[in-house]
Amino acid sequence: MAGLRLDGIAHRTLAPIDLALDAGERVFVSGPSGSGKSLLLRAIADLDPHRGEVWLGAEPRSRMTPPVWRRRVGLLSAESFWWAETVGAHLPASQTSGPDSGYVNDWLAKLGFAPDVLDWSVTRLSTGERQRLALVRRLAQRPEALLLDEATANLDPVNRDRVETLVETYRHEQEAAVLWVSHDPEQRRRLGGRAFVIGDGRLEPET
């Protein structure tokens, strides 16, 4: 797996950022509401206008098509979008049956779901269920780096712990770089690692 490097990434409210995450490293980003955290993740995922380059290992984003980049550098947005009728229809068929389906069933179990959740209609999903299932959907694409936007914001402590454990397991096993926007100071302290704050349009180390 590869590290993730931001090279002069800037958007409408943010001065250019240089930041390098090693393969398998998790870095937290926090900051006041409206300070530009989500826009930073969306800029890295190449979803909004911005300046700068991003590297996955030795490969610049500009040398990949957007769909390939967004599969390899997976963004989990704060609000997930569901378009098909059932949960399972949002996952590649190869991940829900056949040799690879074990991973998905294992992730579902780790997040407190029985395998039949794949047959559930998306209309019945609660906010927290959507949030946890969106993580499984993202991991099923086997991203080499993860961008998490408040991945546990809607969860009770039990499910928050489940999500933290799954992300940490995936990070270690896949050596995936993880850039995690979190409003929760306890979470940042509990999980440790480098943490930064966005304030006044700049990214500074959290003290």
Which residues form the interface with ligand ATP (CB under 6 A)?
13, 31, 33-39
Q: Nearer to ligand ATP by C-beta: 39 or 45?
A: 39
Query: What sign has the CA pseudo-torsion 199, 200, 201, 205?
Result: negative
Q: Could you give the CA distance from residue 91 to residue 163 in angstroms, rounded to a whole number?
A: 19
With beta carbons less than 8 A apart as the criterion, state whether 96 and 87 touch: no
As measured in angstroms, the least distance from the Cβ of 102 to ligand ATP is 35
As measured in angstroms, the least distance from the Cβ of 181 to ligand ATP is 7
As measured in angstroms, the least distance from the Cβ of 40 to ligand ATP is 7
Q: Nearer to ligand ATP by C-beta: 26 or 37?
A: 37
List b or e across 56-78, with b for residues whose CB sees 16 or more CB atoms inside 10 angstroms: beeeebeebeeeebbebbbbbbb
Angle (CA) 148-149-155 rounded to 5° is 95
As measured in angstroms, the least distance from the Cβ of 47 to ligand ATP is 11
As measured in angstroms, the least distance from the Cβ of 142 to ligand ATP is 26
Strand partners, 147: 75, 179
With beta carbons less than 8 A apart as the criterion, state whether 175 and 1 touch: yes
Q: Nearer to ligand ATP by C-beta: 17 or 104?
A: 17
123 φ/ψ sector (left φ>0, alpha ψ -120 to 50, else beta): alpha
As measured in angstroms, the least distance from the Cβ of 191 to ligand ATP is 19
Q: Nearer to ligand ATP by C-beta: 30 or 174?
A: 30
Q: Nearer to ligand ATP by C-beta: 38 or 131?
A: 38
Q: Could you give the CA distance from residue 88 to residue 62 in angstroms, rounded to a whole number?
A: 32
Q: Nearer to ligand ATP by C-beta: 37 or 70?
A: 37
Q: What are phi and psi of 159, to 5 degrees?
A: -75, -30
